[in-house]
Structure formats: C-alpha cells, structure tokens
Amino acid sequence: MDASTLYALRDAAGVPSHPVIFLILGVATWALHIAAVHVMLGASALTLWGAFSKDDLKRRLAATMLNTAKVSVSIAIVIGVAPLLFVQVIYDPFWYASNVLSAWWVIGFIVILILGYLAMYVFYYANKDLTAKKGVTCPGSMVISIALLLVVGFIMHVLTQQMLSPEKWVEWYAPNGVINASGQKIHDYNIWRFLFFISLSAPVTGAWLLAMRRYLQGKEAGEDANYLALLGSLAQKLAIIGGLVVVVFGALWMATLPEKAAGFALSPWVIVTAVALIGTVLLPTLLGKKLDTGFWGFAPFAVGAVALIILGTAREALRFTILYGVHGYNPLDYKIVMDWYSTILFFGTFAIIGGAALAYMLTVAWQVGQSKEKVYTPSPAVDKIGTVAIWLIVAWMVQFFAIGFYVWVR
C-alpha cells in the first residue's frame, strides 16, 4: 500500500505530545502487561499440576498459585489497556485496519476473556481450600479457563500480525475482487511467534517462585524447609527447561520472519534480547546459595523484568523496521498538538498518585511477609503513607472534576 494512503488514514487531530513518548510508554507498559500474563499462565498451570497431586506441599502450592492467577488476570487486564492505547495513538491506520478485517474476533475477545475469567472463578469456588482435601472438584473449569485465555492471547497476536502487512489488506478485504466485509476471518499469524511469547511464562514463573520463596524465608525459614525446597527446585527447572524451549521457539520465529524483515533476525536488537533472556535464565544457577541472602532471591525476577523491557524494545524495533523501512510510514513525524495539561496529568498521576498508593501497598505486603506475629499491625509511619495516598487520590478527583466543570462553563 502506498505510504501516502497510510498517512491519509491518520487522525487529523494529531497527538497531544511527541510520538517518542508514546513509543517509550508503549514498550514499558507492554513489559508490565506481559509479565502479568506470564505469571498468570504459569500460576494457572501450576494450579492444575498441584491440584491433581496427593502431595500436601504441591497442593499447598496449587492453592497459592490459584490466588496468584486470579490477581494476575486482573492486573494483566488493567495494565494491558495502556500499551493498547499507545499503539492506537501512533499506529492508528494499521491497528484499526487490522481490527476491521477481523472484527468478529475483536468483539469476541471481550466475551472470551470474560468467560475465561469466570471459568477460573468457578474452579476457585469449587476448590476454596485445596490443602484441606485430597481431591479436586470441577477440574475442567480450570482447563477451560486456560484454553480461553490462550485464545484471547492468540487474537491479540493475530491483530498485531495483520497490522504489519498493509500490502495484503485489499486482498483480505476483497479476495479475488469480491468484497467480504464480515470481519469473520483470521488472515495472518505466526505460530512460532505466539508460542515464543507463551513459553516465556515458564522462566518468568520460575523467577516469580524464587522471589516468593525469598519472601517466605523471612517468616518461615527453618519452620517450613520442605515447602521452600520445593519452590526452589521447581523454580530452577522452570527456568532452565523453559529457557531452552524459549530459545528454540525464538529461533523458529526469527527463521520464519517474512522476506521483507528477514534481515532483522541477525540484528543487534535480537542479539541483545537473546543475551538478556539467556542471562535471566542462567542467573539463579550463577547466584547459587546467594538466593537465600539479602535481596538476591528477588534478583532473577527483577532482571527478568529488565529483559522483558529489552524484548519489548526489540519487538517495537521490528514493527518500526517493517512499517517504516518497508512501507515508508514514520510514526515519529505525526502531527503534534501539544497538550500540557493532559501530559502533566498523566505523569503526575503515574508518579505521585500511583507512586504513593503503590508504596503503601508494597510496604504493607513486605512487612506482613516478614512479621513473626500472627496479626500484623502497621506502624504509625506506614499508616501515614496510607493516609497521604488517600488524600492525594481525593485531591486528584477534585481537580479533575473542577477542571472539567471550568471547561464546561467557559
């Protein structure tokens, strides 16, 4: 498709800040989103694995992972909105075209996601305490949940793939010259790319288990050695075996890139990403007994988060390479209509409001895990952090409606 046509499909209103900001935020929020997705998938799989076991420690892990999966789904949904919006802002001609071409699947995305989440809750309510019984009730609901959530991920994969091939849009929309505006078909996908991102859930979950193990050591060290040993052993296996699978799927993805982007497979972006991912997988082995001291137990997950940001950057570089290098579309030359209020409000909300609330929740969560007492009582300093966070949220809401009312009455 001619570049002038793609530029004509842009929003004439322009963007409220420099496009590079949206690119950076898109990568950062995508990394947070995909981390939650990986933990959710890994926790869901471990829930089934432990629930079918007669071993008390594995069933205990299953109960914990079920709660982790529930929370991870909600986090993935909430954070997932951000990178989706950033893509829509600067890649709107491609994203909306892809959505229209597979409109049924876009609408079905919401329905399937709801059903998948509900199925998880069916399993949760049927097995509220996996540690108190030996069997498992309604296991099919959890299997259905995982399957539906994978379908949701595949739909997003398809939409992302389709937006990278504008030269095929006309043929997809009107095959052999006959218009098909139903939006019922899936037109493009790369199964190795999809499996690569799904398989990443294994090493990411392994890093999560190591962090959970170190967290529990502050409270249960010496009292629950067998459970902590299970977490450590399982985490190492997920990291090493999962890492090998990731490398294989990643290589197959790069080998099956379309001809227009084949050179990207040996680019510095891919090499740096491979080094970051392999380094994350090997880190627990390299650290050894250090995982039991200080904050080293959290290092694999922290390094893994950085690796996901690097991966997200490479993913964005591939998209830029195809859309700009092949089709001549440059998202960085989007018309800018600077809106300082919305820009300051966004970063202020993220850094100040979100920062204060997150600081309070993380502080409480950390101290609960480290406390030796049966009932945790926050200190006056922690209470003050919570109070400040609440008042900041109230102030944010007041200014939001005040500005809105001011604009309305002008």
Per-residue model confidence as pLDDT tens for the chain (410 residues): 778 889 999 998 999 999 999 999 999 999 999 999 999 999 999 999 999 998 999 999 999 999 999 999 999 999 999 999 999 999 999 999 999 999 999 999 999 999 999 999 999 999 988 887 778 889 999 999 999 999 999 999 999 999 999 999 999 999 988 999 999 999 999 999 999 999 999 999 999 999 999 998 876 555 688 999 999 999 999 999 999 999 999 999 999 999 989 999 999 999 999 999 999 999 999 999 999 988 899 999 999 999 999 999 999 999 999 999 999 999 999 999 999 998 998 899 888 888 899 899 989 888 887 777 777 888 889 999 999 999 999 999 999 999 999 989 98
Q: Which of 307, 338, 369 is the last residue of a domain?
A: 338
Q: What is the pTM of this model?
A: 0.93
- How many Å apart are CA 194 and CA 201, to the nearest integer? 12
Q: Which of 302, 318, 338 is the last residue of a domain?
A: 338
Radius of gyration of the chain (CA): 23
Number of domains in the chain: 2
382/249 same-domain check: no
Domain that holds residue 362: 339-410
228/94 same-domain check: yes
Q: Which of 338, 368, 389 is the last residue of a domain?
A: 338
240/356 same-domain check: no
Q: How many CB atoms lie within 10 A of CB 21?
A: 17
325/353 same-domain check: no
121/32 same-domain check: yes
Q: How many CB atoms lie within 10 A of CB 290?
A: 12
Q: How many CB atoms lie within 10 A of CB 272?
A: 15
72/169 same-domain check: yes
Does residue 11 contact residue 50 with C-beta atoms inside 8 Å? no
344/263 same-domain check: no
Q: How many CB atoms lie within 10 A of CB 232?
A: 18
266/386 same-domain check: no
Q: What is the pLDDT of residue 365?
A: 85
What token pair was written down for 312? 């997200």
**Torsion over CA: 342, 345, 349, 352 (sign):** positive
- How many Å apart are CA 36 and CA 78, to the nearest integer? 10
SS3 374: coil
**Torsion over CA: 376, 377, 382, 387 (sign):** positive
260/124 same-domain check: yes
267/363 same-domain check: no
Contacts 24+ apart (CB under 8 A), 89-93: 89/15, 89/19, 89/22, 90/15, 90/19, 90/22, 90/23, 90/331, 90/334, 91/163, 91/319, 91/323, 91/331, 92/9, 92/10, 92/11, 93/6, 93/7, 93/9, 93/10, 93/166, 93/329
Q: What is the pLDDT of residue 224?
A: 81
SS3 73: helix
87/205 same-domain check: yes
376/281 same-domain check: no
Q: Which amino acid is at 263?
A: G
- Strand locations in 143-258, DSSP E? none
